[in-house]
Each structure stands twice: as structure tokens, then as C-alpha cells.
């Protein structure tokens, strides 16, 4: 509990003890009305002075129609009518409900507060030969910073020296530590768990991952959902309406009775009006709906999913079409050797050996993947005469043998017939040695281990169609789509073509159905903005994509899309439950209050009881079964 919450708790305890003591005293000793009023005013003012103060301030500012005004009028009226115990009890239970709500909000903020702990306080750099702590905002790009075990990485960069294990749970929601070594990219907010490392910064602090995350979280509450906007508008008209209704209930029936020649029974109708006011307090709706969305966003952040506003959390539940970029989203975005197919007379080891040596001087991604697959350190003395032909491949002398390695055009130039039976496995690198066909090595952008499971999970949730848009060849696109279960593919697209394809899909879908686009590259930013909801890969995604997206997955795991949708559906289910429950109970109790069948104690339940139940229900949005 905070200091303010503890203070309210002490006031509740003091007022409760005094109320019981005064009630016992007045029941056992005969006292006049003035003494009773004075005695009951003590616990009433202890527990309700701040409500009376807020109500008075609202009246002075001409903004009086709120729950403080309703509680003040109802309890002061009850006190004037001599219902002392009921008056103090109403204020007491209202404050108990408010304290309960405050504690609940505090608990739901813990996920966000934990996320805020990722903000680094300092960066270690060398100044005049000594390591000194400086403000991360003062560190320039390209500076080498030192991160000791137990410290947070303050700025995005690349490990220049050392190896370690990183705790990324605050960013990704995953508890399994991640190993990192020299040359690996690291992002700010991770905790260095083992070895000391030297990091060369690649971004300024303001552009680093940790800064962007904090900015997204801090601004997420600014974008309200349709449900929250409804409650805001509802309360704006509802509160004045019930105040005027209560006034009419206090005046019109007695006046009508007078005109009919009957006794007006002013006190009966005033009590009914005051009871009506207490019942009508819209706290349950005003508090529980935003709290539900806040808890839902906190649950998502705890699981490594950053939602930029409750409106986007709400939109996720209506999503029926999910469109994916391929590279870096469904695939790893890294070329790897996935097949070695030697021709007769050659072994797989020989084929890889000749290709790796022939490609040893090239920095092309395909060349790098061949050298990585070869693994052994390449002895440059064993290769010479390297010639690279753009768009074709390379030729070289390896161990005294003439080697050609490249595409079918290069093989045609060398006068060698090739076998194309493995073309559907990815990009093929053909090789010939001393004029004889040696075989082919296939290289592809490897599909993420979680992609197939992600598509299957989305279909379980009722997604009508999954679509993949890519600039890759039709052959590659269809292979990936078939492997993971994508419904439709569109290949060989430019960035503008992706936008056009999304426009077509938006026109095809139903009016209430939403379309989500999932991407990670700079060229995906326009599509992320155009879709009903944009989802970006946060760990490897470009800054432009993360900026344009409405939801960011911090660990690049496509399975988190389905989890985000589950959190959204669970949150909206709780919101609807609270709206229906609160309105139904209020309506029944208001009718009973107007007809005189509801006492002030019924009013207390209709106000505080409903609010406590709704808040308890809202807190369920903080957890989701994975």
C-alpha cells in the first residue's frame, strides 16, 4: 500500500470503531437529537471530509455532476433526516470501495512498473583512462561502453569484446536467458548476467529500444477504446439525468398528493430520492472499464507484447484476416544451407569444400552462408585466380582445380549440363570442377521454428484467412506457404504492391471484420500504417516498422500474435460482463428505490458492492492461460 492508501485505511478503521461506539452509546443512554447529531458527525467527517471537499469544489467550478456530488447530497440529506447510522455507513462503505479500487489499480500497474525498471540509470565509458558513469543520453553513436555482470545494457549496440548471458525477460516475457558473444547485436534494457562485455553503440539513447518501449507504454493510455469512449459519454449524460430524476422524485409525488388532497409525506419521498441518488452512482462502470483495459495491456506487456493503446487491444479481438511479410517475420531473415546434393563422383564434403573456397573472397549473403556451413577456417593459400561475374557467380582455382560456382547461367557459360530437380528447395548454387558437373547446394531463408504453430493457433482462434506478401520468387513463396500452412500468397512484390494487395483485401472483408498486417522491415511501414492494425517484430524489426505499428512483439515470435488476440478477447469479455452486470443491478435497484422497496442498505450494495465485484472481475484481465 502507498502512504495515501494507508491513510485512508486508518480513517476507515477509526470511523468504523467510532460508528460502533456511538451507536452503542446512543442505544444504551437516552440522548437528544442534537447530541446524537454531534456524536455521529465525528465518524462522518473523519471518513467523508475529502468527499465533501471535492463535491464543494465541483459545485464552485460548475462541474458538480459526479460521484462525489451524489454521495455528498445523499449522505448529508440522510443526516438531516435523522438517518445517522445509514449516512455514516454509506460514506464508510463508499470509501472502502474506493480504497479497494485504488489497491486494484496499483496491482495492475505492477506489470507496467516492472517494465519501467528496464530504464538504465547510467553508462560506463572510459574518460581519461578511467571508467566513469555517465548519463546514457550523453553517449554518442560509436562509443564503446562497458557493461559489468548485473548491470543493464543502457544503449543498443554490438558486442565488441567478451561473451555473456543476457536476461531479456523484461523485454520479451521469456524467462530463458540468451547467450551473446562478440559480434552479436544487443538491445538496451537487457540485464548482463555473467561476463563483462564491451559494447559499441549503434544508436543514441533516445532511439534505443528501451526508450521506444517506455514511450509506447507511457502513451498507451492516451488512446481509448470504443468501450471506454462509450462509458465517458454515458457518464456525461447519465449523472445529470439521475440527479434531476432524484429531484423530481423528491418534489413531484408530494406535490401531486397535495393537489389530490392527501398528506404529502415529504420525508418518505426525500428518503427515496436520496436512496435513488446513492444507487445511481456510476462508479462500477467508470472505474472497472478502464481498469479492465489497463490490466489487459499490463498482461500483454508482461508477455513481451506492447500494445500502444486500448483501442488497438479492442481491435485485435475483431481481427479475422492476418497478412504476413515473409522475410524476418515468418522466416529468420538469414540465409542458411539447407541441402547438399553432390553429383556422381563427388562427395557432399568435397562439393561444399570447393564452393566455400571459390566463394571465399565474396561478401554476398549466399557466399557467407556457404562459408558458415563449411565451418573450417579457410586457408587462402589454397585458392587463387578468383573472378566474380555479377549476376552469375564466381570461378577460381582451388587446390589446383578449376572451379565454377554460381547459377545456371554460369554453368551454361562453362558448358556444363546441370540437374534442376532440387530448385524448389531454395536458391541453388551449382558447381563444376575441371569442367565436370559436381552438384548443387541449396540455400534458403530458414522458416522460424514457431511459424507453423503460429498459423495453426490463429486458425484455431477463428481467423478466416492468412495471407503472405513477399518480394521473393513465386517458387520460394509457395514453398514457405506450403510448409507452414498459409492460405494465400502474393510474390515478387515491391513495397507499393504490398499496399495495393492490402487495399484489395480491405475491400473484400466484412465491415466489422479487421485486418492485421505483420511485418518487420522498413518497406513494411506503409502497409503497417494502412492495415486496421499493424503488428511489428520488435527485436529485429526496423525503427520505421516499430514506429508505424500499433502492436510490437518484443521477441519476434509469431506465436505471440495469437496470444495477443487471446488477451484482447479475454479483456473484452470481462468488459462486457461488467457493463451488463452493473447496468442490470443498477436498473433493478433504481426501480426498487423509486418505489420505496429499497432501503439505504440496498443502495450501499448497489453502489459499493457492485463496484467491488466489477473491480474484482476486471483484475482477471491481468492473467491469461498460455
Active site residues: 325
Eight-state DSSP code of residue 71: H
Q: Transcribe 521-567 into DSSP letters.
A: SGGGHHHHHHSSEEEEETTTS-HHHHHH-SEEETT--THHHHHHHHH
Cα separations in angstroms, 91 against 4, 88, 490: 18, 5, 64
Phi, psi of 443 (to 5 degrees): -130, 135
All residues at 6 or more sequence positions from 199 whose CB lies less than 8 Å from its CB, including other chains: 144, 145, 146, 147, 153, 155, 157, 158, 159, 160, 186
Pairing of strands 305-307, 488-490: unpaired
All residues at 6 or more sequence positions from 138 whose CB lies less than 8 Å from its CB, including other chains: none
Q: Transcribe 299-351 into DSSP letters.
A: HHHHTTEEES-HHHHHHHHTEEEEEEESTTTTEEEEEEEEEEEEPTT--HHHH
Per this entry, what is the length of the chain? Answer: 626
The answer to whether the beta carbons of residues 514 and 319 sit under 8 Å apart is yes
Sheet with 130-134, side-by-side order of all strands: 130-134, 123-127, 144-147, 197-201, 157-161, 185-186
The answer to whether the beta carbons of residues 342 and 458 sit under 8 Å apart is no
Eight-state DSSP code of residue 626: -
Amino acid at each position: 500500500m502507498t502512504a495515501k492508501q494507508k491513510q485512508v485505511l486508518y480513517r476507515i478503521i477509526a470511523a468504523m470503531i467510532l460508528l460502533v461506539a456511538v451507536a452503542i452509546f446512543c442505544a444504551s443512554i437516552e440522548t437528544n437529537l442534537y447530541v446524537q447529531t454531534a456524536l455521529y458527525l465525528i465518524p462522518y467527517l473523519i471518513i467523508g471530509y475529502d468527499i465533501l471537499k471535492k463535491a464543494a469544489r465541483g459545485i464552485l467550478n460548475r462541474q458538480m455532476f459526479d460521484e462525489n456530488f451524489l454521495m455528498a447530497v445523499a449522505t448529508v440529506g440522510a443526516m438531516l433526516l435523522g438517518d445517522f447510522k445509514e449516512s455514516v455507513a454509506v460514506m464508510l462503505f463508499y470509501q472502502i470501495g474506493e480504497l479497494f479500487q485504488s489497491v486494484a489499480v496499483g496491482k495492475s500497474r505492477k506489470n507496467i512498473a516492472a517494465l519501467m525498471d528496464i530504464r538504465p540509470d547510467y553508462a560506463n565509458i572510459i574518460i581519461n583512462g578511467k571508467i566513469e558513469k555517465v548519463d546514457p543520453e550523453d553517449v554518442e553513436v560509436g562509443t564503446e561502453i562497458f557493461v559489468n555482470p548485473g548491470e543493464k545494457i543502457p544503449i543498443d549496440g554490438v558486442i565488441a569484446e567478451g561473451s555473456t548471458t543476457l536476461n531479456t525477460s523484461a523485454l520479451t516475457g521469456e524467462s530463458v536467458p540468451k547467450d551473446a558473444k562478440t559480434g552479436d547485436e544487443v538491445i538496451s534494457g537487457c540485464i548482463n548476467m555473467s561476463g563483462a562485455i564491451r559494447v559499441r553503440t549503434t544508436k543514441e539513447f533516445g532511439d534505443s529500444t528501451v526508450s521506444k518501449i517506455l514511450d509506447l507504454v507511457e502513451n498507451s493510455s492516451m488512446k481509448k477504446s470504443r468501450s471506454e469512449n462509450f462509458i465517458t459519454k454515458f457518464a456525461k449524460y447519465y449523472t445529470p439525468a439521475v440527479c434531476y430524476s432524484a429531484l423530481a422524485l423528491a418534489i413531484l409525488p408530494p406535490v401531486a398528493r397535495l393537489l389530490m388532497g392527501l398528506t404529502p409525506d415529504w420525508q418518505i419521498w426525500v428518503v427515496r430520492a436520496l436512496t435513488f441518488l446513492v444507487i445511481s452512482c456510476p462508479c462500477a462502470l467508470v472505474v472497472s472499464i478502464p481498469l479492465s483495459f489497463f490490466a489487459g495491456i499490463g498482461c500483454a506487456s508482461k508477455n513481451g507484447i506492447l500494445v500502444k493503446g486500448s483501442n488497438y487491444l479492442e481491435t485485435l479481438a475483431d481481427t479475422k484476416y492476418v497478412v504476413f511479410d515473409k522475410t524476418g517475420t515468418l522466416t529468420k531473415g538469414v540465409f542458411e544451407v539447407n541441402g547438399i546434393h553432390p553429383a556422381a563422383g563427388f562427395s557432399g564434403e568435397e562439393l561444399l569444400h570447393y564452393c566455400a573456397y571459390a566463394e571465399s573472397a565474396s561478401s554476398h549473403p549466399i557466399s557467407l552462408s556457404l562459408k558458415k556451413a563449411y565451418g573450417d577456417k579457410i586457408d587462402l593459400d589454397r585458392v587463387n585466380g578468383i573472378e566474380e561475374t555479377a549476376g552469375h557467380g564466381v570461378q577460381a582455382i582451388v587446390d589446383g582445380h578449376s572451379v565454377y560456382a554460381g547459377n545456371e547461367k554460369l554453368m551454361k557459360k562453362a558448358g556444363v549440363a546441370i540437374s534442376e530437380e532440387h530448385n524448389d528447395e531454395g536458391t541453388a548454387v551449382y558447381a563444376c570442377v575441371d569442367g565436370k558437373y559436381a552438384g548443387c547446394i541449396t540455400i534458403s531463408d530458414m522458416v522460424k521454428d514457431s511459424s507453423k504453430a503460429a498459423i495453426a493457433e490463429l486458425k484455431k482462434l477463428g481467423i478466416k484467412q492468412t495471407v503472405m506478401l513477399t518480394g521473393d520468387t513465386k517458387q520460394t513463396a509457395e514453398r514457405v506457404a506450403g510448409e507452414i500452412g498459409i492460405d494465400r500468397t502474393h510474390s515478387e512484390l515491391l513495397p507499393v504492391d504490398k499496399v495495393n494487395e492490402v487495399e484489395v483485401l480491405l475491400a473484400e472483408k466484412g465491415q466489422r471484420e479487421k485486418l492485421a498486417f505483420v511485418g518487420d522491415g522498413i518497406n513494411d511501414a506503409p502497409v503497417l500504417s494502412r492495415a486496421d492494425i499493424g503488428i511489428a517484430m520488435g527485436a529485429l524489426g526496423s525503427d520505421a516498422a516499430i514506429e508505424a505499428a500499433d502492436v510490437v512483439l518484443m521477441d519476434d515470435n509469431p506465436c505471440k500474435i495469437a496470444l495477443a488476440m487471446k488477451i484482447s478477447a479475454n479483456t473484452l469479455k470481462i468488459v462486457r460482463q461488467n457493463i451488463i452486470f452493473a447496468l442490470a443491478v443498477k436498473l433493478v435497484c433504481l426501480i426498487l428505490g423509486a418505489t420505496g422497496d429499497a432501503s439505504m442498505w440496498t443502495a450501499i450494495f448497489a453502489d459499493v458492492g457492485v463496484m467491488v465485484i466489477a473491480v474484482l472481475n476486471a483484475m482477471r484481465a491481468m492473467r491469461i492461460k498460455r
